[in-house]
Amino acid sequence: MIDKKENGIVEGAQVLYVLPNGKVRPAVIVNAWSDDEDGKVNLIVFTDFANDELNPVEWRTSVPYSADKTPGTYSFADGREVKVTEAKEAEEESTSTETADAETTASEGAEKSDTEAAAEGDGEDKSEGEKEAA
């Protein structure tokens, strides 16, 4: 998972886009998808027009981040790398905390149930005459 704000993946950030032919061109992030955990963005790419045989400005959607400059990806112009946090680790921490809380609640409920059962059991073990006397 990529924390976009922490990594500077925000609208207006200058990045480098790798064209399908491997050439690198400047680009600007125009949409950093808030619901995407992989750092995908929409870009406006500035091409070398006739030399790239493309329009002078190209729009690219759902472009993934890649530090190794794979065609069709973006990286940062200043060379910084994006920090990726393992969603699985964060999920495991959350799950273990929830499990511990559930176990505590269950054990508290079990203790209460045992006490209530013991109290009810005392009444059931007595004969009718004993119940009336009590």
pLDDT at residue 23, as a whole number: 96
Q: What is the pLDDT of residue 16?
A: 97
Considering the domain architecture, whether residues 61 and 91 belong to the same structural domain is answered as no
Q: Tell whether 94 is covered by a domain.
A: yes
**Number of domain units in the chain:** 2
The confidence score (pLDDT) of residue 132 equals: 59
66 with 20, same domain: the answer is yes
Matching residue, tokens 């006397």:
133
Residues 72, 20 contacting (CB under 8 angstroms):
yes
Among the residues of 17-76, which ranges form H helices? 49-52
pTM (predicted TM-score): 0.61
Domain assignment present for residue 61? The answer is yes
Q: What is the dihedral of CA 115, 117, 120, 121, to 10 degrees?
A: -110
Same domain, 15 and 68: yes
Residue 130 inside a domain? The answer is no
**Residues in the chain where the model's pLDDT stays below 50:** 90
**Residue span of the structural domain in which 92 resides:** 87-122
In a shared domain, residues 54 and 94: no
Q: Indicate if 19 and 58 belong to the same structural domain.
A: yes
Q: What is the pLDDT of residue 101?
A: 60
Nearest Cα neighbor of 17 from 71, 57, 55 is 71
